[in-house]
Each structure stands twice: as C-alpha cells, then as structure tokens.
Structure 1
Amino acid sequence: MFHKYVLSRVGSNTRKILGNSSWMLFEQISRMLLGLFVGVLIARHLGPMEFGNLSFLQAYISLFSIISALGLNRIVVRELVNVSGDAEKEKEIIITAFCMRVSAAVVLFVVCVAVGVIFNQSRMDYIFIISFSLFFTPFETFELLFQARTNSRPVACARSIVFFGSAVLKMILLFLGAGLQVFVVMCLVDVILSAVAVKITYKMKWGALYFNQFNFKAAKNMLTESWSEIIAAFSGMLFMRIDQIMLANLAGPDAVGVFSAASKISEMWYFVPVAIVASAFPTIVASREHGDALYWKRLGRLMNALVGLSYVVLIITFSSAAYFIPLVYGADYVESVPVLYIHIWCGLMVCFAQVSGAWLVNEKKIRLNLFRNVLGAVINLVLNFALIPVYGPVGAAIATMLSFMFAYFIFDLFYPPMKKMGLLKLRSLLLAA
C-alpha cells in the first residue's frame, strides 16, 4: 500500500522519469544484490582486518577518482540537452570532456602514488596497483550522452554483463582461497572492463569519436564553471570516505572492517536516487522554461518519491539489521549493527543532496554546492577526530550522519539563497512537498 501511495503522490511526470531510469535501476539493483552477496563472501573470507585494508584502499582511490571526473557530469548532460539533435555538437562536447578527464587522470596518478609513498608505505604495493584505475575512469564520459537522451538501456545491459562476469570470477577466486592482493587486482579489473563496455556501447550506438573534435574554448568554459563542482565533489567524497581512512589510522584496520560492513549495506541503495535524478535532470532543465510553478511542482514530486523510498529503507533496516548482519557476515561483524542503525540515516540526506544538486546546476549556482560540501567535510573531520578515539566505528558513523545533515539539510534551511529548497525538503519529510 505504501508504494502505491508514493506513486500517487509523485504524479505522471515523475512516473515517466521513473520509467526512463528503469534500465539504470535494473543494472544497479542487479549489481546491488549480487554485489552484496559477493561482498559478504569476501568479507567473511578475508576477516575484519584484511577486509578493512581492502575497504581502505577503495576509499583512498575514490578520493582521486572523484577529482578526475572534474565535476563535469551534470554540466555535460546539461550542455548535451541544450544541443540535442546536433550530432556534431554532441560529439564535440563528449570528446572535449573525455580529453580533459584523461589529462586529469595522468596528473592524479602521479599524485596518488606520491601520497601513498609519503603516508602509506606499508600499503604501497596495493596503492600502486589500484592507482591504474584512474586511467580508465574517463571512459564514463561516454555514458553521459545516454543519460541526456534518457536512453540508459544499452549501457545498463553492457555494464550488467561485465558485472556478472566479474562476480563469477570473484567467486571462483574465493573458492581457490585467493588473498587480499588478488582482490585488489580485481578492483582494477572491474574498472577496466566497465570502461571497455561503455566505450564499445557508445561506438555501436553513436559511432566513432576523433580527437580533432576537441574544442579548446568549450573546455575552458566547462572548466571555468566546474572548478567549484570539483571541490564540491571532492569534499562530498571526502566526508563520505574520510571516516574509513581516519579509522585505519586512529583505530586500526579491524575498525575499518566493522564500519565498512555496515556502510556497504547502508550505501548499497544510494544508486536509486542517483539513477532517478540523473534520468530526471533533462526534464528538470526543460521544465524551467515553462515557469516556476511547474518547475517547483516537479522538484517537489521527485523529492517526495525519494523521501518515501528512504522511509521504506529505514523501516526494513531497523527491523532486520540485528539478525541480518550476524547471520550473513558472521559473529566477527556483530559490532557493525549499531553502526548501521546510525549510518542508514545518511540515505535520506543523499536523496536531498541529489535533487538539490541538480537544481543548483540548473540554476547555475554550483558554488553553493561547494560551500555546503566543504562545510560537511570540515564538520566530519572535526567530529571524527573527537569521536573515533572514544567510540570507534560508531563514532565515525555519528560523524558522517551529522555532517550529511548539516551539509544537505540544515545548511539549506538557514542559508538565504537555499531557503526555498530547504523548505521543500522540510515539507517532503511529511511527503507534502
């Protein structure tokens, strides 16, 4: 009954958006279920300490990967929507963004390895391996044209094939008793195969791209606009992942393993608001031309739908976590239960962040996203230093949850340029936006 109520509240336009994002959701749901299954097997196989080391490496490389995207995703999608139907302009935008990201990846590879040499010499061999994934993340650029045209089915199918193949290989490796180094290599293999799948899918659908289509002026314009998105995205990733890095240094890899077991469950549904908002973004851009009433109505309906989904996730988590984690992960991870009870609330804030983030891009107020993400990162750093030594993984979860709340809810309520969006979020808590 609840899901019917939510659908009745979101209206026909948002139902259309949900339909357009169905292939993205299908891919991610498949990955969520199989990924959770394989992830649990890996966690049980490696144990909290080695699983904590693997999680640390994934958190570490994610900080550099998010910078390599150069904050261009929503900007590129917006530009592609604006030139829709002009194939040459679309290809020019795609190849320009791709080249920019390749250049960033080369620089960041050097930085990533250098930072590892200075601060993490004990994990240097693993860091060197996983750093090569930076060279393949730019291929995600080719997916943006599919998003702009709300046609995610080809990419979703390609990614799903790759993911299922990788999952089977990991289960074989588990059967053979593979160690941490092998699974670090598999992290790199996953990125490579995903990049190849996206590129082949793009070429089959839209044809070849050539580097002479690079537009220096367009690159300069996009980078001028995206610099604040780069900092905002890094700050956002920082206060999502810094807890694992700080846990490794303040409490040890076992604490990272306990925290990661909970956070992987909490975060496994984050793709839903990401996929839905990515599908809705072109429609939001178009509706701005038809007046504020329709524009805010559509934003409100989208917000209601995502908050409703958040409530469903919260109910399921609180009713099952105490049984699910010890049963699935094993007795070594029982301390993950209270961590999950706290960390699961971050999902509601992620929904707020996705909708308001799209709104800020559409309004060309990207710097405000920078301000709130930096605020969240600073709060998370301070709270982690204060809480981790006392409460361990639970303290890290509290720090993350509070930083999300300040960045994506309280900031919008009290900062005047965001006040209207903040009130929309407040009403959506009652499904009345």
Structure 2
Amino acid sequence: MKYFQSLPFAQYGKNVFWMLGGRMIQLMITFWVTAMVGRYLGPESYGVLNYARSVAGFFLMVSVMGFESVLVRRFVDAPERTAETLGTSIWIRFLASLMSFGAVAAFAWLGEPDEITRWLMLILVAGGIFRVFENLDFFFQSQVQAQFGVKVRLLAVLGQSLFNIWLIYRQAPLIWFGVAFLIRHVIEQGGIVWMYRRHFGGLRRLSISKKAAGELLRETWPLLLSSLIAVLYMRMDQLMLRFLMDHSAVGYYAAALRFSEVWYFTAPLLTSALFPAIVKAKQVDQSTYRLKLQQLYTLAVLLALAIIVPTLFLGGWAIQLPFLFGASYAEAVPVLNIHIWTLVFVMLGSMVDKHLLMEGNQRFSFYRALVGLGVNIFLNLWLIPLWGITGAAVATLISQVVSSFLMMAIFPKTRTVFWMECKALIGAEISSLFRRGRAKLQGPSQ
C-alpha cells in the first residue's frame, strides 16, 4: 500500500484498517457458524432458508436506496448540511422499508405455497425496517470514524452466532434461524444509534427537508435501479434453481457461494474507506485523481487473484470438512471452482460504480446492471437444464464479465473506465508500480 501514501490516502488508513479488519473478524465468526447451520439443516432446508433470503434481499434493496456513496460524498462536500441530509435520508429509507415489507408480504402470500417459506420471507424483510439507521454509519465513515460501526456490527454478529449455536444445540426448527437474522439487525441498529448519540449528539439534531429529499432522490435513483437489478441478477441463479430444479439444488449452490461471495465485501469496503480521499483528490488535481483511481482498479484485481488462487486449490476440500458443511455438500465443489472467478469482476464492478458516480454518470451503472440481468436470465434458462447447478455458476460468471467489463467499452463516456480496467487486468499498471518501486530502491543514477 506504499503507493497510496503520497496524497490524502495515508490519513484514511485507520478507516481501511477498521473496515477491513472488522469485516475479516465477522467472516471468521459467521463463516464457521453458517456452515454449522447448513450442516444441521441439510441441503434442502438450507436451500429454503437461502431462497427466502434471496427474495427478501431483493426487496430490501429498495430501502437501501443507493445511499452509501451519495451520502459519504455529500457529507464531505457539504458538511454544513449534514443534519438535514442525514435526517432526510433516514426518513426516506424508513418509508422505503415499509414498501419493501408490503411487497414481500404480497409476494409471499400470492406466489409462495409453502407456509414456512412465507414466514421466513416476512421475518427476514422485517430486519430492513430496523436498518434505516445504517445511514448513521455512512456518516461515521465520512468522518474517518469507521470503528464505531465496526464495533457494533461485531457485537451483533456475535449475538446472532451464539443464538444460532444455541438453536442447533436445542435442535430448533428452521423458522428460528430466520429470527436470528432479525435479532442481529436489532442489536446492530440499536448500537449504531447509541454510538451516534454518544459521539455526535442525539437524533433530535437531525432535520427533514423536502428540498434535500428531492436532491437525494434525483441523485440516487440510477444507483437504486442499478442496485435492484444487480441484486436480482446476482440472486437470479438461486431463484431459477428453485423453480427449474428444487430446494436441495439451491442448498448446494448456496454452500458454494458461501466460499466465493464471502469475499465480495473487500472491494466495497476498500472503496468506501478510501472514497472520501478520492473526492478530495478530484477537487485538488485531475492527474492525481486519475492516478489514484487506476491504482484502486489494480489493487482490486490483485486482491481478487490473491483470494482466487488458494480457493481453487483448497476450497473443494474445505467445503467437505466435517466441521464445515460436510461430505453431504460434495456437489457444491464444481460450482465453487467456477463461481470464484466472478470475484474479479465483482470487485471491478464496485470500482466502476464509484468511478461513474464521481463523473456524474450514474445512469451507466443502471445500463450495465440491466444488461447483466438480461444475459443472466437468458444463460440460466439455457444452461441450468443442460448442466444443472454448474450451469448457473457459468451463467453468473459470463454475466459479470459482460456487465462489469465489456459494457464499459460501448459508450464514449465510459471508455476511460474500460481502459483502466484493461490496464488492471493485463497487469500494465502492476508493471509500472514495480518499476517505480525498483527505481526508488536503486536510488538516483550516478
């Protein structure tokens, strides 16, 4: 990370440390406990749980509203309007959460015949109502105080994990594992509110403004639509496996995804932690701004490859370990070996969305997500009947390549993004970094 020290990046190291470090600890806790839950429930019931999570997760994206990047930027650019921006965004998100709950209730009772699955969907989407205060955490990040949110999330994950272990010990029915997610959200959001009151004052300081609401909605609607579509096409494989095959297929597939999607957090966290510095670099100097963007693209690819290579060698063995998912999930191994490659393009896609936002071209995030969804649906319909769960993994990988990489070559305003991705993928920027590092070690020529 030495090449990030030249400008405002060094002061954001604490944010990176807390966000990445905290997420890694969460992963170590949840990964093992989730595997325990999967082994206890078995592929079929585990598939039901993950299908319900996929449905609820899609509708919950409405409540997220694409706020993260927009709010962090507004907090940095216009600190005098922080109370107004924060209060208005929380109110908008609360109303959106109620809409999400109503939509899931309608879907569950009209389109899902199984009663347990219906109740799981409702319990899981109810957590979205408590997540409205997540916007306070975006404020923490903008103030380089990410540790407040990280500490609270660690406590919430620990509470959920202990509850899950107790449920397994008591041989609880499936529905209670949905309740565990709800408990996590209650602990997490309560803790975030407490942290905000302790360090920045009470919520009464916040205000609501129609003007701010209009500005936020105009700025976030492309990100909201693209996020909805992105979540749908990232979960389309599990939804289509449910209808084209069965719940057990969803269970095997979800087990493989636990080993690949568990790493998806790295790019969003990295870009979120450094995003305030990118904003300031753009305000100071365009050449430095472009250099830092290119370095982040390259770092995203390097991180992805550092995860993919050991996963290819060890992931299949790890899935079948008796203290993880176990031998009954052997069918998940081929899926993992294909799906893990999506990590490269998921990480690039996260950088693309930040880059487009900085340039005021958020609508292209929507276009790329829409095309990715279309490609994913077509390929799933074609490949799942041919290759089963492996076909779903291939469909997801190809759709990620198209939406996160190839789509950027089509539009003139996004070709700069495409060429930065190319440099990161072919290693041109990596080579230049090594050359600069070697030149520094050698010192000035005599």
The TM-score range, normalised by the shorter chain, is over 0.9
Measure how far apart 1:20 and its partner are.
Answer: 2.5
User: Residue in 2 aligned with 1:36?
Assistant: 31
Does the C-alpha gap of structure 1 residues 68 and 23 become closer, same or farther in structure 2, counting only changes over 3 Å? same
Q: Report if aligned partners of 1:126, 1:184 keep a CA contact under 8 Å in 2.
A: yes
Taking the aligned partners of 2:346 and 2:13, their CA distance within structure 1 comes to: 18
2:256 is the counterpart of 1:262: yes
User: Residue in 1 aligned with 2:86?
Assistant: 94
User: Residue in 2 aligned with 1:358?
Assistant: 354
Taking the aligned partners of 1:340 and 1:250, their CA distance within structure 2 comes to: 20
Does the C-alpha gap of structure 1 residues 81 and 8 become closer, same or farther in structure 2, counting only changes over 3 Å? closer
Taking the aligned partners of 2:14 and 2:187, their CA distance within structure 1 comes to: 27
Q: What are the equivalent positions in structure 2 for 1:405-416 lying under 5 Å apart?
A: 405-416=401-412
Give TM-score scaled by structure 2 length.
Answer: 0.92
Q: Report if aligned partners of 1:52, 1:257 keep a CA contact under 8 Å in 2.
A: yes
Taking the aligned partners of 1:424 and 1:53, their CA distance within structure 2 comes to: 41
2:125 is the counterpart of 1:128: no
Q: Report if aligned partners of 1:343, 1:401 keep a CA contact under 8 Å in 2.
A: yes
User: Residue in 2 aligned with 1:119?
Assistant: 111
Is there any run of 5+ residues in structure 2 with no aligned partner, and where?
430-446
CA offset digits 1:341-382 (Å, max 9, x no partner): 111111111111111111111111110101001111111111
User: Residue in 2 aligned with 1:300?
Assistant: 294
Q: What are the equivalent positions in structure 2 for 1:8-87 lying under 5 Å apart?
A: 8=2, 12-13=6-7, 14=9, 17-84=12-79, 86=80
Q: Which residue identity is paired with 2:65?
A: L
Taking the aligned partners of 1:16 and 1:350, their CA distance within structure 2 comes to: 27
User: Residue in 1 aligned with 2:198?
Assistant: 204
Give TM-score scaled by structure 1 length.
Answer: 0.94
Q: Report if aligned partners of 1:287, 1:295 keep a CA contact under 8 Å in 2.
A: yes
User: Residue in 2 aligned with 1:419?
Assistant: 415
Does the C-alpha gap of structure 1 residues 45 and 26 become closer, same or farther in structure 2, counting only changes over 3 Å? same
Does the C-alpha gap of structure 1 residues 400 and 18 become closer, same or farther in structure 2, counting only changes over 3 Å? farther
Q: Report if aligned partners of 2:83, 2:206 keep a CA contact under 8 Å in 1.
A: no
Measure how far apart 1:145 and its partner are.
Answer: 0.6
Q: Report if aligned partners of 1:308, 1:431 keep a CA contact under 8 Å in 2.
A: no
Q: Report if aligned partners of 2:83, 2:205 keep a CA contact under 8 Å in 1.
A: no
Q: Which residue identity is paired with 1:118?
A: L
User: Residue in 1 aligned with 2:100?
Assistant: 108
Does the C-alpha gap of structure 1 residues 69 and 49 become closer, same or farther in structure 2, counting only changes over 3 Å? same
Percent of pairs with identical residues = 26
User: Residue in 1 aligned with 2:181?
Assistant: 187
Measure how far apart 1:158 and its partner are.
Answer: 1.5
Taking the aligned partners of 2:146 and 2:254, their CA distance within structure 1 comes to: 30
Q: CA RMSD in A?
A: 1.6
Does the C-alpha gap of structure 1 residues 171 and 27 become closer, same or farther in structure 2, counting only changes over 3 Å? same
2:196 is the counterpart of 1:172: no
Q: What is the count of residue pairs matched by the alignment?
A: 424
Measure how far apart 1:165 and its partner are.
Answer: 2.2
CA offset digits 1:72-92 (Å, max 9, x no partner): 2211111111123x3xx2111
Taking the aligned partners of 2:269 and 2:29, their CA distance within structure 1 comes to: 18
Is there any run of 5+ residues in structure 1 with no aligned partner, and where?
1-6
User: Residue in 1 aligned with 2:339?
Assistant: 343
2:247 is the counterpart of 1:253: yes
User: Residue in 1 aligned with 2:278?
Assistant: 284
Measure how far apart 1:269 and its partner are.
Answer: 1.4
Does the C-alpha gap of structure 1 residues 363 and 249 become closer, same or farther in structure 2, counting only changes over 3 Å? same
Q: Higher relative contact order by CA 8 Å / sep ≥ 6: 1 or 2?
A: 1
Taking the aligned partners of 1:176 and 1:104, their CA distance within structure 2 comes to: 36
Secondary structure of 1:210 counterpart: helix
CA offset digits 1:78-131 (Å, max 9, x no partner): 1111123x3xx2111111000001011112211110011111131222222223
Taking the aligned partners of 1:240 and 1:388, their CA distance within structure 2 comes to: 15
Q: Report if aligned partners of 1:346, 1:401 keep a CA contact under 8 Å in 2.
A: yes
Give the alignment partner of residue 139 of structure 1, picking from 133, 143, 149.
Answer: 133
Measure how far apart 1:413 and its partner are.
Answer: 2.6
User: Residue in 1 aligned with 2:442?
Assistant: none
